[in-house]
């Protein structure tokens, strides 16, 4: 029971961290290595508005998500747009932006244990004999809602459908009037907003530290590689796979090995099935 509950919580947390990365990569084929930095920025913005400016929690969170969206758009518009299509340059540029942001924050004094966000609702309940705090339950609800909304958005709205068209064949989408640069900008903004949202939901469970940026990036990459780069539903399923594997490891081997699971998952996936669990596109291409 404990494994089931905490496995689900951990899986949803991983899915939240990875969805933004998967979205940006799926649409614009840019691996956004600044993803972790954006995550941490969202945490510090929320903290600033909550603790320094003194706005309400909800409002601070909203501002943080909006700012990260704009930040993502700016990063695309002024930096990534010039290297799009050059895979190595995309990685170097986005990783450099991430490093600059994270180390800039560290230099600016955002370090140590002082920066924490409160949980949304304090208290805990007992589920099947296992104590779970309400914030973690909310996390499940928010995660499921985000996944459902993202699915509805990409299947039923004009922009969402255009994004999926572009993800499948950018040039064919261009022929239908779908401007790829504008869509990639939107995708980067949405992806950054998802990173921001993930930060606001997940950071109250710990401290806001610069190192979280690197961890989130590694976890997001692990989830996306296992799920098949560019496949959003693959990312969600991979999040559950890695999420439960981590919890099982914690229970049977000790929490020390938790991070190793994600890293091993990357290595084994790349050896055994390089296109990930859901590298579906390739199979279809061969058929036609």
Partner 1 sequence: MLDAKGLMVFYENMLALNNVNILCKENQIVGVFGANSAGKSTLMYTLSGIMEDIKKKEEMAGGERITVSGKIQYKGIDITKLRPSERARRGLILCPERRRIFKESSVLENLRIGGYLASPAQANKTLDYVFKLFPALVKLKKRVGGFLSGGEQQMLAIGRALMAQPKLLLLDEPLLGLSPLMQAILIRATKVIRDEQQISILVTEQYARPVLPIVDHAFILENGAAVMEGSRDELLNNPDVRGAYFGV
Q: Where along the sequence are the contacts to partner 1 (CB under 8 A)?
A: 83-86, 155, 158, 161-162, 164-165, 168-169, 171-180, 182, 280-281, 284-285, 287-288
Residue 174 beta carbon to partner 1: minimum distance, rounded to whole angstroms = 5
- Closer by beta carbon to partner 1, 174 or else 218: 174
Closest approach of partner 1 to the CB of residue 279, in Å: 12
Q: Is the dihedral of CA 142, 143, 145, 149 positive or negative?
A: positive
- Least distance CB 265 / partner 1 (angstroms): 24
Rounded CA separation 269/222 (Å): 9
Taking the C-alpha atoms of residue 90 and residue 32, their distance in angstroms, rounded to an integer, is: 8
Q: Tokens 């950071």 belong to which residue?
A: 203
Residue 86 phi/psi, 5-degree rounding, is: -110, 95
Nearer to partner 1, 112 or 177 (CB): 177
Q: Which of 103, 179 has the CB closer to partner 1?
A: 179
- Phi/psi region, residue 206 (left: phi>0; alpha: psi -120 to 50; beta: rest), is beta
Nearer to partner 1, 186 or 242 (CB): 186
What's the min distance (Å) between Cβ of 30 and partner 1? 12
| DSSP states of 117-167 | ---SS--EEEETTEEEEHHHHHHHHHHHHHHHHHHHHHHHSHHHHHHHHHH
Q: Which residue has the tokens 């504008």?
A: 182
CA distance to 99, 114, 155, per residue, from 36 (Å): 9, 20, 27
Min separation Cβ 278 and partner 1, Å = 11
Q: Which residues contact 116 (CB under 8 A, 6 or more apart)?
A: 47, 203, 204, 206, 207, 208
In the complex with partner 1, which residue's Cβ is closer, 113 or 176?
A: 176
Give the nearer residue to partner 1 in terms of CB position, either 53 or 182. 182
For partner 1, which is the closer residue by CB, 28 or 60?
28
Closest CA relative to residue 221, chosen from 266, 283, 168, 182: 266
Minimum CB–partner distance for residue 184 and partner 1 (Å): 13
Least gap, CB of 176 to partner 1 (angstroms): 5
């Amino acid at each position: 029971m404990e494994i089931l509950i905490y496995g689900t919580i951990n899986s949803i947390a991983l899915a939240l961290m990875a969805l933004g990365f998967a979205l940006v990569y799926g649409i614009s084929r840019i691996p956004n290595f600044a993803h972790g930095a954006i995550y941490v920025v969202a945490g510090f913005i929320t903290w600033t508005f909550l603790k320094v400016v003194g706005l309400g929690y909800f409002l601070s969170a909203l501002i943080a998500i909006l700012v990260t969206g704009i930040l993502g758009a700016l990063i695309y518009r002024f930096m990534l747009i010039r290297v799009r299509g050059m895979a190595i340059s995309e990685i170097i540029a986005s990783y450099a932006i991430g490093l600059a942001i994270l180390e800039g924050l560290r230099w600016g004094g955002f370090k140590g244990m002082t920066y924490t966000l409160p949980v949304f609702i304090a208290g805990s309940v007992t589920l099947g004999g296992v104590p779970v705090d309400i914030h973690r339950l909310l996390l499940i609800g928010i995660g499921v809602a985000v996944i459902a909304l993202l699915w509805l958005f990409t299947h039923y709205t004009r922009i969402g459908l255009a994004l999926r068209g572009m993800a499948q064949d950018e040039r064919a989408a261009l022929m239908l009037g779908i401007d790829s640069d504008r869509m990639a900008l939107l995708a980067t903004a949405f992806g950054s907003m998802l990173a921001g949202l993930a930060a606001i939901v997940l950071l109250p469970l710990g401290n806001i530290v610069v190192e979280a940026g690197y961890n989130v990036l590694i976890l997001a990459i692990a989830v996306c590689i296992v799920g098949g780069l560019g496949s959003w539903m693959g990312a969600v399923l991979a999040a559950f796979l890695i999420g439960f594997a981590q919890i099982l490891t914690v229970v049977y081997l000790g929490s020390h090995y938790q991070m190793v699971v994600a890293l091993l998952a990357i290595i084994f996936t790349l050896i055994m099935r390089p296109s990930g669990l859901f590298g579906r596109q390739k199979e279809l291409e061969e058929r036609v």
